[in-house]
Amino acid sequence: MEKFSPTPIKDLYAFFRYAIRGYHGINFVYALRKNLSYNFQYLEYLSYSIKKYPLTDVLQRMSYKNFIIVGMGMIEAILYYKIIENNRHKNNCWEHIREVKGNEFKVNGEIFRIHHNIYKKSANPIEEEIKLHTMLHKIEDEKLLGNDHGIYGKLNRLRKLRNKIHMHMPEHNTDHDYNAFASKDYNLIIISLL
């Protein structure tokens, strides 16, 4: 049996070391580069498997799903880097301590409740967590990937597919993985990663 030989991690790391520099504000850049390298090698393996082995239609679509989920994880990491590199992230000097839930009350027959959040000002601002949806908006608003508006829509489509990792949240009865993942999506993530 032929042995699969992916790009060595040291070579992938060398590439990501060149592409992902140690800018101020990026914590654990070594781990980021390593994770990108490991995941890229895994995508090479998935791509090889999809092309090499005759898979059932279901297994092929599930392979597409895994490729998209891992690929979007990589894109998310790279977008995060671009946001930090371009100083477009937010720091928060308020640390959430706790939430206080108030009692229920009625207004015009409807029931309401007020929640209060208690924050403490921190001497050291912390970087706010950025969700992929927010990253995509920020990247598009700032045109950090250029002026081609098509790429932003494509990345948003892939984000929605990536969110299908949450199997318990279909929107309707035909919203299942077999219908969601197709070769066009697999090709789209490959192009997006290039």
Q: What are the sequence ranges of the domains in the chain?
A: 9-90+129-193, 92-124
Asked if the model's pLDDT at residue 27 lies above 80, the reply is: no
Tokens of 166: 């949450």
159-192: per-residue pLDDT in tens? 999 988 888 888 888 888 888 899 999 999 998 8
Query: What's residue 19's pLDDT?
Result: 86
Instruction: Report H helices in the chain.
Output: 9-19, 29-52, 57-85, 132-142, 149-162, 177-180, 183-193
Q: What is the pTM assigned to this prediction?
A: 0.81
63-106: per-residue pLDDT in tens? 999 999 999 999 999 998 888 888 878 888 888 899 999 999 99
Angstrom distances, CA of residue 148 to CA of 143, 153, 160: 9, 10, 20
Q: Are 155 and 82 in contact (CB under 8 A)?
A: no
Q: Are 188 and 158 in contact (CB under 8 A)?
A: yes
Query: What's residue 150's pLDDT?
Result: 85
Query: What's residue 24's pLDDT?
Result: 60
- Among residues of the chain, what percentage have pLDDT more than 70? 98
Query: What's residue 28's pLDDT?
Result: 85
Residue 13: band (very low, low, confident or very high) from pLDDT cuts 50, 70, 90: very high
